[in-house]
Structure 1
Amino acid sequence: MRPPIRKTVVVIHIVVSVALLGEVWGLVVLNTAAALTKDLALAHAAYRLMPALVFAGGIPLSLTALATGCALALTSHWGLFRYYWTAAKLVLLVIVICLGMFLFDPEGMAAATEGGRAVAATRQWGQVAVLGTQIVLLMTAAALSVCKPRGKLR
């Protein structure tokens, strides 16, 4: 990749990765507010807002981060599976995507609070835990990008 193109892809990768972290943080805030409030209408509104964040932010941002990260790794001396840190970043992002696809269910939570019905606290806090795990994984990936441990894969 020529330097100007590579720099552009690096900037895009960093921006979408930071934006993804912010989007997940926004979901944590909404989920925590919904779990803590006694106002069921507020909880329902928070859960109804979350799919918009996921579809407008989370999905395109995570897929863009995945595509740009793979492109950067495959066109650099680091490689995608040459070093532990690059492979770990790929695995972490795939786990973040899978957690969002399979365990995070804002639409189900919105349906559960429809008509002022309360939702079990364990279910509400389970959703917060999924998002908290995503935050930790994304922050770990960011730390790996900065520290770049030198261990090579065989």
Structure 2
Amino acid sequence: MTGDPLWTFACEFYGRPGIAEACLALQDEAGADVPLLLYLIWCARTGRPVDAAAIAGADDRIASWRVQVIAPLRAIRRAMRSELLPGQSTQAHRERIKAAELEAERLALAALSAAAPEPVCAADSGTDVLALYAAHLGRPWPDAPLRVLRAALGTG
């Protein structure tokens, strides 16, 4: 779909066992934005500096897109899980909405990638981007998905 290294990383990381479920749990239970979360993990893994200001800047960069495009597409796709038009198959349309949502998330990642800082060191396992992002959101994160992500990152 693209040669962007962030997109490549996001697809590979998200596809690992348990990661998608952990990311979606953080999205649904703690208000995390999955593209931003994947971006922050990528930054840490590629030696790009991440601190509270960097998280706030990245969040601001895609906030309008998330609110005006991604969230409505997600809401439509989720609403279409149930049979809203009795006797009518809407699965193919739901799949198109899902594809549009995925493309919108890819575009958010592309915007983040374009503004990402240059790597300054080797992969940074010392910066706890998960804790920094949770602090940015101002709420604690559920333990189970956090454990899954930390295990995948080798930090917990």
Question: What TM-score comes out, normalization by structure 2 length?
Answer: 0.37
Bigger fraction of residues in helix: 1
Q: Which has the higher contact order (CA 8 A, sep 6+)?
A: 2
Question: What TM-score comes out, normalization by structure 1 length?
Answer: 0.37
